[in-house]
């Protein structure tokens, strides 16, 4: 049986996709699944004795069981902390679909579910000429939307949900993310989102000064995934 694939996108950059993706991995593992993470393209990497490494990709690798090779978790590790398109150009790297699909296939062979974290918001390209929707379709993924719970989130969430469905992908659910240290009417935003989005809320992760994916996973309730 082929592994399920979940593609995690966000209403914007900096809304907590990495924490939510790692929390999903912990939640799936707590249900007895073999779950592994993937960050296909990551910009903002640091040079280590083992090569370029990205903090978000390492978080996903650490939350995975079984533990995959870093090169499969993050096939394209780009040094510059900027948009992936610019980081790839600066590094002289051409981001191609074949290596991404091959890595996802290897991860799928060792897992029941592969959680794939995208870049920025849904319409942010992975590379020149490569949209996130293209990869999500190619690997047969359902989409989970991470919504940063702050002023403006309702519009961003509804627009993203429409864009995902217009791109021919199934939106499986959404996760609220407490991005602000002092929540502003957060519960009211959650209720508005529950009424506005056509898919279930899979959990609301509170603001964490020091993010802890294992702890955040307790906020995840995703029986449909």
d(CA 47, CA 77): 10
Integer CA distances (angstroms), 137 to 68, 81, 194, in order: 23, 27, 26
Q: Are strands 142-148 and 4-10 parallel, antiparallel or unpaired?
A: parallel
Per the DSSP assignment, residues forming a β-bridge with 65 are: 35
**Is the peptide bond prior to 66 cis by the omega test (within 30 degrees of 0)?**
yes
d(CA 54, CA 46): 6
Integer CA distances (angstroms), 103 to 100, 107, 124, 209, in order: 5, 6, 21, 33
Active site residue 17: no
Of the candidates 26, 39, 150, 156, the residue annotated as catalytic is 39
Report the catalytic residues.
Answer: 39
């Amino acid at each position: 049986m082929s592994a399920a694939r979940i593609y995690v996108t966000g209403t914007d950059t900096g809304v907590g996709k990495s924490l939510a993706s790692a929390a999903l991995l912990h939640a799936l593992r707590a249900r007895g699944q073999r779950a592994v993470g993937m960050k296909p393209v990551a910009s903002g990497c640091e040079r280590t004795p083992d090569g370029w490494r990205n903090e978000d990709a390492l978080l996903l690798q650490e939350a995975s069981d079984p533990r995959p090779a870093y090169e499969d978790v993050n096939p394209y590790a780009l040094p510059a902390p900027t948009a992936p398109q610019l980081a790839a150009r600066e590094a002289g790297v051409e981001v191609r679909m074949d290596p991404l699909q091959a890595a996802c296939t290897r991860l799928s062979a060792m897992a029941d579910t592969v959680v794939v974290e995208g870049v920025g918001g849904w319409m942010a390209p992975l590379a020149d000429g490569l949209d996130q929707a293209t990869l999500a379709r190619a690997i047969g993924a359902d989409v989970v939307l991470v919504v940063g719970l702050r002023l403006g989130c309702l519009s961003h969430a509804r627009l993203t949900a429409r864009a995902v469905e217009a791109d021919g992908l199934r939106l499986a659910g959404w996760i609220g993310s407490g991005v602000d240290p002092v929540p502003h009417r957060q519960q009211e935003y959650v209720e508005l989102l529950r009424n506005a989005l056509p898919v279930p809320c899979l959990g609301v992760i509170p603001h964490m000064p020091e993010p802890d994916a294992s702890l955040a996973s307790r906020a995840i309730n995703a029986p449909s995934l």
